[in-house]
Amino acid sequence: MAVNRSSRNHQLLSQVGAKNPFKKLAIDLLDVSSGFAKGMEAVRAKRGLSAEGKRDEARDLVRKALRTRQDLRKPLAQYNAQTEAMAAKVKLPDLDRTDEYAVRLHFRMLDLSYDMTPLERMGLMTGPGRDPDFILSSFASLSMFP
């Protein structure tokens, strides 16, 4: 008996943003999963096949689903490789612990961005998409900036 996962898949897809470039990939991957489940149910329902025949058809379905899944995940693997390469290029400056102001600023930033990943933190503090409110809020607690 196959488990109906369409409601779960719909709920998972609703969490993926409309502008996410991998939304179609997520839909295709869930379709592979659903197709595999339906194919296995069809193999189990065939009465004319011996146990060995069912096993061979199931093996063929598994191979086909894995091959399709592997092909679909290639763009995601390339994206992950690019992201890791970009993260490896970023070198944060060392903290000069003799500079009291810099040390206070450093620990204030750590407190404000505790739940963020380093890349999220960098995105808020640098580049064209930086958030001045985040930077100013980190300075506000220091005595030099009222």
Distances from the Cα of 13 to the Cαs of 36, 58, 107, 113, in angstroms?
19, 28, 38, 28
Tens digits of residue pLDDT in 34-70? 889 899 999 989 888 888 999 999 999 999 999 999 9
Of 64, 34, 40, the closest CA to residue 54 belongs to 40
Reply yes or no on whether the pLDDT at 119 is more than 80.
no
Asked which of 2-16, 20-34, 97-111 is least confident by mean pLDDT, the reply is: 2-16
Chain mean pLDDT for the chain:
80
- The per-residue pLDDT for range 98-114, each reduced to its tens digit, is 888 888 877 877 777 77
Residue 74 has pLDDT above 60, yes or no: yes
Among 26, 31, 28, 43, residue whose Cα is nearest residue 5? 31
The mean per-residue pLDDT over the stretch 24-34 comes to 87
- Taking CB atoms within 8 Å and a gap of at least 24, the contacts of 18-22 are 22/75, 22/76, 22/79
Least confident of 67-76, 80-89, 117-126: 117-126
Element (H, E) at 117: none
CA nearest neighbour of 38 among 83, 68, 9, 3: 3
10 Å CB burial of residue 104 (0-12, 13-18, 19+) is middle
> Which pTM was predicted?
0.54
User: How far is the CA of 124 from the CAs of 9, 89, 102, 132, 142, in angstroms?
Assistant: 32, 18, 18, 8, 19
The average pLDDT across 17-41 equals 86
Of residues 63 and 17, more confidently modeled: 63
What DSSP string runs through 1-36? -----HHHHHHHHHTS-TT-TTHHHHHHHHHHHHHH
Rounding to the nearest 10 degrees, give the CA dihedral for residues 38, 59, 44, 34. Answer: -10
Q: In which band, very low, low, confident or very high, does the pLDDT at 142 lie, cut at 50, 70 and 90?
A: low
